[in-house]
């Protein structure tokens, strides 16, 4: 008996111990996961290792003179203006106070070049990487980690250039190039001061699963194992287009906006994360926190977050047509100089998919050019235009005959139906008459 009791007591004790262990596990698990998940909870706000291990490597075009540029140098060579007028009484601006410009009312602030842009001042050209891919003495890259939860982190790698030179006539596809009058021989259009480009790598449990490449107003998304992606030591390669700095997965020519060509080649390799600022962004509060690489020399005394919240333009606002520097491409309304862009804050950093949730809207001109260019190879090129015209005219003639026939036939049917309806109403009348006579509706008199 005693042995049995002690056995059941032991069993009971064991179950209690197991239950306690189970409870402990249940209690511990979520907190343990949270601690492991929050990047900010890591000691000394350290950049997770996977963010640099899988960071993109950028091939700058061999002939592109406009290289990545230091953010602070860019600010120092510009003056904030509203409506082309300098804002008075400002302190010296830097990355730690730029957002004070948001409080100045009455219009959109534009960081406007201190120099005449048509003279292409030296600072517009940025800096070239050395043989190791590092851009020394400049920080042209901003990495922002959007931590959705413990498992899912989107890393945005922003690349900054002080100048974007748009396409010229040689980059316009046939036959639109014949429609554009090259009044200013070889002039580039769509040029602007300041240029923010980016890749976004989506991580799950520290492993990359997909990547976004920014290209002009939109871009392209790829699964990490997509065949089109080129890799070097597990890092995706990015080809920065000549002048525009749009990001592509391969060298060579790339068509954008239906009618323009971007050129890419493996010119000079840039390793952006070697000269970058790193941040953590809370998607719920939009709070940005400076974080650090393990062996970086960046001082933790400065936050360097104010520039992120600046919502104005990073370059000159589009010059009015009355400005002698401004030119317009006849018929298409394209301007030589357009406004500089807004910063990373407007790039839809909290995304469901790899692509921005709200794609930009196309103007009717872009839409028309798109339709025209998609029809051009099959139906409008050379002799095909005559075939297409004949087919179109035939369709129009057939349509006219068709409409005439259906109108005629419809009228006939309509009249016929009207007649039938008449009969319809007649029958009961006759009926009544008939029945009246036969059934003796006459009141008995």
Binding of residue 419 to ligand NAG (CB under 6 A): no
Q: Which residue lies nearer to ligand NAG by CB, 165 or 351?
A: 165
Question: Residue 299 or 425: which CB sits closer to ligand NAG?
Answer: 299
Q: What is the number of the residue whose Cβ is closest to ligand NAG?
A: 186
Indicate the DSSP class of residue 362: P
Spatial contact of 208 and 240, defined as CB atoms under 8 Å apart: no
Backbone angles phi, psi at 129, to 5 degrees: -70, 155
CB 55 within 8 A of CB 157: yes
Nearer to ligand NAG, 91 or 106 (CB): 106
Q: Which stretch binds ligand NAG (CB under 6 A): 54-62, 162-170, 308-316, 416-424?
A: 162-170
Which of 149, 250, 303, 311 touches ligand NAG by CB under 6 A? 303
- Based on CB atoms, which residue is closest to ligand NAG, 15 or 83? 83
Residues 165 to 204: which contact ligand NAG by CB under 6 A?
168-170, 185-186
Please count the residues of this chain forming the interface with ligand NAG, following the rule CB under 6 A.
14
Q: Which stretch binds ligand NAG (CB under 6 A): 143-151, 210-218, 290-298, 336-344?
A: 290-298
**One of 118, 302, 390, 394 touching ligand NAG (CB under 6 A):** 302
What part of residues 122-161 is at the interface with ligand NAG (CB under 6 A)? Answer: none
Q: Closest Cα to residue 172, out of 424, 436, 373, 306?
A: 373
Stretch that binds ligand NAG, among 163-171, 222-230, 355-363, 426-434 (CB under 6 A): 163-171
Residues 278, 292: contact at Cβ < 8 Å? yes
* Angle, CA 76 vertex, CA 70 and CA 79 arms, to 5°: 130
Alpha helices for 38-63 (secondary structure H) = 49-53
Does position 83 bind ligand NAG by CB under 6 A? yes
Footprint of ligand NAG on 89-128 (CB under 6 A): 96, 106-107
Strands 247-248 and 252-256: unpaired
Smallest separation, CB 386 to ligand NAG (Å): 31
Instruction: Between 186 and 440, name the residue whose CB sits nearer to ligand NAG.
Output: 186
CB of 276 to ligand NAG, least distance (A): 11
Would the CA dihedral through 66, 72, 77, 82 be positive or negative?
A: positive
Burial class (CB in 10 A: 0-12, 13-18, 19+), 63: exposed
Q: How far apart are CA 427 and CA 258, in angstroms?
A: 67
Pairing of strands 110-113, 218-223: unpaired
- Cβ 11 to ligand NAG, closest distance in Å? 56
- With contact defined as beta carbons under 8 Å apart, do 214 and 247 qualify? yes
| Length of the chain counted residue by residue | 445
Question: Please, which residue, 209 or 261, has the CB nearer to ligand NAG?
Answer: 261
Angle at 290 between CA 146 and CA 74, to 5 degrees: 100
Contact between 52 and ligand NAG by CB under 6 A: the answer reads no
Lookup result for tokens 């402990």:
24
Which residues contact ligand NAG by CB under 6 A?
A: 83, 96, 106-107, 168-170, 185-186, 295-297, 302-303
């Amino acid at each position: 008996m005693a042995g049995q009791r002690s056995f059941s007591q032991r069993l009971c004790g064991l179950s209690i111990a197991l239950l306690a262990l189970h409870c402990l596990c249940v209690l511990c698990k979520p907190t343990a996961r949270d601690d492991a998940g929050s990047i900010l909870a890591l000691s000394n706000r350290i950049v997770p290792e996977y963010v640099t291990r899988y960071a993109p490597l950028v091939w700058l075009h061999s002939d592109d003179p406009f290289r990545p540029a230091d953010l602070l140098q860019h600010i120092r060579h510009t003056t904030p203006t509203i409506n082309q007028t300098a804002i008075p009484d400002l302190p010296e601006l830097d990355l730690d106070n730029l957002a004070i410009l948001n409080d100045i009312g009455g219009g959109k602030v534009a960081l406007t070049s201190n120099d005449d842009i048509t003279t292409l001042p030296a600072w517009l050209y940025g800096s070239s990487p050395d043989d190791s891919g590092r851009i020394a003495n400049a920080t042209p890259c901003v990495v922002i980690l959007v931590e959705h939860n413990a498992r899912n982190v989107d890393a945005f790698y922003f690349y900054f250039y002080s100048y974007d030179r748009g396409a010229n006539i040689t980059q316009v596809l046939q036959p639109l190039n014949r429609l554009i009058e090259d009044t200013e021989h070889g002039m580039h259009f769509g040029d602007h001061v300041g240029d923010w480009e980016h890749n976004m790598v989506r991580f799950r449990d520290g492993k990359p699963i997909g990547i976004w490449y920014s290209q002009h107003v939109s871009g392209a998304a790829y699964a990490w194992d997509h065949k089109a992606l080129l890799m070097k030591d597990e890092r995706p390669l990015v080809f920065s287009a000549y002048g525009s700095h749009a990001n592509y997965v391969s060298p060579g020519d790339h068509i954008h906006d239906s009618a323009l060509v971007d050129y890419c080649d493996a010119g000079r390799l840039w390793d952006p994360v070697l000269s970058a600022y790193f941040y953590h962004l809370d998607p719920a509060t939009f709070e940005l926190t400076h974080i650090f690489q393990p062996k970086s020399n960046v001082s933790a005394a400065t936050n360097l977050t104010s520039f992120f919240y600046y919502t104005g333009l990073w370059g000159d606002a589009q010059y009015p047509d009355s400005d002698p520097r401004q030119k317009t491409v006849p018929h298409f309304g394209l301007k030589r100089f357009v406004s500089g862009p807004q910063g990373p804050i407007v790039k839809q950093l909290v995304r469901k998919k790899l692509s921005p949730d709200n794609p930009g809207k196309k103007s009717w001109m872009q839409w028309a050019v798109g339709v025209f260019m998609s029809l051009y190879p099959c139906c409008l090129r050379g002799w095909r235009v005559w075939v297409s015209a004949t087919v179109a005219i035939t369709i129009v003639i057939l349509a006219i005959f068709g409409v005439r026939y259906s109108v005629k036939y419809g009228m006939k049917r309509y009249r016929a139906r009207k007649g039938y309806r008449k009969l319809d109403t007649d029958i009961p009348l006759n009926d009544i008459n008939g029945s009246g006579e036969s059934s003796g509706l006459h009141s008995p008199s």
